[in-house]
Structure 1
Amino acid sequence: MITVLIVDDDDLIRAGLSAVLGAADGITVIGEATDGDQAVPQAAALHPDVVLMDVRMPRIDGIQATRLLLERLDDPPRVLVLTTFENDEYVYEALAAGASGFLLKRARPERIAEAVRLVARGDSLLFPEAVRRLAATHQRPAAGRLPGAPLTEREAEVLALMAEGLSNAEIAGRLVLGVETIKSHVGNVLAKLGVRDRTQAVVTAYRSGFISP
């Protein structure tokens, strides 16, 4: 069973998300919080697998709350950021802070449930075009070098395809390699960049200038 904590200052949004996820197979909502300042204590007490985090809240926003979750908890949950607009400038900063993806609040119920399942199993939820647009406004001047250990030519290819939003199976098809081989390359990329998941790898690639929006 995937456990979820909902963090949003809008009562109707919380109620709607709770109803949607409560009706989904294999998912249960174990708590709700009305602001980002409650996210860390609630997550520490409840140990959710996934936190649905509103990006804009009055006291502590979703960016800072995400950062605090990753800094203060030994085994932090996956964070799925909720936003009204996919070009919300806060979204990119939330991804850079450690969120595993973002979801539009107007998404269909089945899309919300599937997004929770995706991030719970360690996959990332990216909208490549939206991330590319956001990255274009936040990219820092750089020499195109990634932090950490150098990537092999194949690993660099895999990272570029990850940035396009391709799954392991799709990357395997594009490069004519086995899925297990791609999984190994992805694991190597994450380890060399020192990041938690695919989303963080893609954000790092954009921020460093290794991939240009």
Structure 2
Amino acid sequence: MGLLLVGCASAPAPHGKVAGDAFSMGEVLQSDSNRIATLAMRENINSLMRLMDKLYQRNPAEWRKTAATREAAIAHVRSALLERQMWPPLEGQRDVQALSKALSPEFTGDRVGAFTYAMGDMLLTSHGGKTSFTLVDSLDPQNVYNAARNVEIANWVLNHRKNAQGQPLLLSNHMSEQERNLSFEREMGKLIARLDLIASFGTERVRRSAIGFGQNLVAGPFLQFLPVR
């Protein structure tokens, strides 16, 4: 009985299962690279939303500048980002200019909302303003690569820059003798990794297309099924 209890105690906890999307007719207009870029962008937006929620929880004074509840503030920022609306506290700034303003010590608005919106707008700009891609779309790998570097810079600024009172602009990662909370760093790392993968894959798009055409041309005749009756 004791051995059984030990075995149960050491069983791994469930962490969910991977699940794919149901087929949609829109996928007919997507190449493999289009589909990968679409999935990566979707996950990057989801990562930003998780980061925003975590930052709002650690900095509750910020969401109160935007809405009556944390959930309402998150929905407000998400809607403005995906619908490409302006974020009023950023005074018309977009892309990296908006990111610089959101991370300036002098900024007095909802810094979490402004930071998330600016990060998302920068990502969308690097992807041609789109979240879904088809055969007629073309991503610039260098722009996506630059976006990854911008995320690294923004993460460093968030962790090191202080306001006029000498306090962090926002509370995020936390390390002490009693507790280590690096969930913000992990989410930022996922963003950077996805962007770097899409940038690297983008540089190989034309070359891989040519190789795939050659493989089909050469190997096609040898990969025909043979009659068995």
TM (norm. structure 2) is 0.25
Higher helix proportion, which one?
Answer: 2
- Structure 1 or 2: larger strand share? 1
Normalised to the residue count of structure 1, the TM-score between the two structures is 0.26
